[in-house]
Amino acid sequence: MSAVTFDHVSRHFGAVKAVDGVSLDIAEGEFFAMLGPSGSGKTTCLRLIAGFERPTAGNIRIFGDPVQNLPPYKRNVNTVFQDYALFPHLNVIDNVAYGLMIAGQGRRQRHAAAEEALELVRLSGYGARKPSELSGGQRQRVALARALVNKPRVLLLDEPLGALDLRLREQMQEELKSLQRQLRITFVFVTHDQGEALSMADRVAVFDHGQIIQTGTPEDIYFRPEVPFVADFVGSSNVLPEALVARLTGESRPASIRPERLKLAAEGPLRARVTGLSFLGLATRVSLEAGDTRLTCLLPQDAARPAEGEDVALDWEPGDLHMMKAGA
């Protein structure tokens, strides 16, 4: 059964089409990422599911029930907000128990459930503290516990890791992933970080200008982008323009090739000049120029390195050149 279904949903703010004719289908138990640059409509989509926004057109269903006219408090979904939105006047345990308090549970019962949820996010014993006494990472876990304690059928996460530093973010990515597997709740996750989307999600929808450009597994998105925008946005893939591809293959379509799949060779179909080298640890990134086209190639650490300014030939396996649709 589908957890969330969008049927040609639009949300226009005056002349601004924040979400424009989006259709999507999120399966139950799926970890679904909505990826896109800021202003691409991904957060508005999340707010449409939560009920903070109403669609100007189209239908939204949650587990089959139409919800477009239901207020947020009548939907069985919960949100982890980007700024966490913890209640500053309540301590941690009352923050987590808020939803249960509203639902009419007694103090003892809801505190026990809240303590359990805090244990789930590894914050046992923090119940008496005020949100202002916690670090960013701890606040994030409280926000997670506060949402999960209500046993939502869909959990919405709005850039939940955006405010954390790199190491904490990597740690939380793994924790979120294992939490999702453990609880079997449908997670819908909004992010502008392609690495985050690819590493955590079962499926990714790439947004641009209020529309979904491509939906697929992380492997689809990464290795088989349908249009240059996706190739460009999801990691630094090399996009070969139509004219160049026409010369190489005879087909007038843009194509993409991953930097790690480009090889420096003695002979190859494409010649380029080395414009820069940077050491990345596991690999060396080589910046290249083939006519007007800038390319990047990742060399394994044990490969021979060219010199800057040198002319090299580029080669690849036939299957690595991925043909895309013409246009944007």
Rounded to a whole number of angstroms, the minimum distance from the CB of residue 84 to another protein is 8
Task: For residue 243, give the 3-state DSSP assignment.
Answer: helix
Which residue number, 83 or 165, has a Cβ lying nearer to another protein? 83
Measured from the CB atom, the residue of 162 and 235 that comes closer to another protein is 162
Closest approach of another protein to the CB of residue 129, in Å: 17
Question: In the bound complex, what is the minimum distance in angstroms from residue 179's beta carbon to another protein?
Answer: 19
Residue 158 CB, nearest distance to another protein (Å)?
9
- Selection from 193, 188, 118, 131 nearest residue 162 by Cα: 193
The residue assigned the tokens 């005879």 is 250
Nearer to another protein, 13 or 279 (CB): 13
CB of 300 to another protein, least distance (A): 46
Instruction: Please state the length of the chain.
Output: 328
CB atoms within 10 A of CB 69: 10
- Interacting residues toward another protein by CB under 8 A: 50-52, 71-73, 77-79, 81-83, 85-89, 98-99, 101-103, 146-147, 150
Residue 95 or 214: the one with the smaller Cβ distance to another protein is 95
Identity at 271, one-letter amino acid code: R
The dihedrals phi and psi of 254, each to the nearest 5 degrees, come to -70, 155
CB 94 to another protein: min, Å: 10
> Distance between terminal CA atoms of the chain?
34
| Nearest in space to 40 (alpha carbons), one of 207, 195, 264, 163 | 207
For residue 117, which amino acid is it?
A: A
Which two tokens mark 17? Answer: 């089409």
E strands, 116-260, are 154-158, 186-191, 203-208, 211-216, 238-240, 255-257
Q: Quick one: 73 or 108, whose CB is closer to another protein?
A: 73
Q: Which is nearer to another protein, 86 or 314 (CB)?
A: 86
